[in-house]
Amino acid sequence: MQWKKTPPELAATFDKAAPKDPRVVRKPMFGYPALFLNGNMFAGTFQDKVVARLAEDARARVLKAGAKPFEPMPGRPMKEYVVVPATDVAKPAALAKWIDQAHAYAKTLPEKTKAPKETTKKTTTKKR
């Protein structure tokens, strides 16, 4: 399956909707623009979509209202993420509301820390 790049205008719209929190980091996730707080991704783009990570109650509410779970590959939903409806992506205030809600949820998550690298001692066998 070939993925397509996020259109530049969507990436620009996504960037404008990002929270002004100085702790938020924008970096790519699988080559797509994404927003992180304390190491946790909370919003991003995927191809021509914007996705948001929401708390369970908020997620249930928006799914009932017609939002779709985020599935980067068919049949493989990404837990806690939903696709922001295209009608809301087209409205800057509505998109900002989705991203703010995801940002608020990210504030409740524990900080992600990098796991220490495990050093393994390689054993070599000498041929005699």
Q: What is the DSSP string of the chain?
A: -PPPPPPHHHHHHHHHHS---TT-EEEEETTEEEEEETTEEEEEEETTEEEEE--HHHHHHHHHTT-EE--SBTTBPPTTEEEPPHHHHTSHHHHHHHHHHHHHHHTTSPPP-PPPPPP-PPP-----
Domain ranges of the chain: 8-106
* pLDDT, averaged across the chain: 90
The CATH number of 8-106 is: 3.30.1460.30
Give the pLDDT confidence score for residue 111 in this predicted structure. Answer: 94
Query: Average pLDDT, stretch 20-29?
Result: 95
pLDDT digits (tens, 9 = 90+) for 53-110: 999 999 999 999 889 999 988 888 888 999 999 999 999 999 999 999 999 999 999 9
Residue 121 has pLDDT above 70, yes or no: no
Higher pLDDT among residues 40 and 73, named by residue: 40
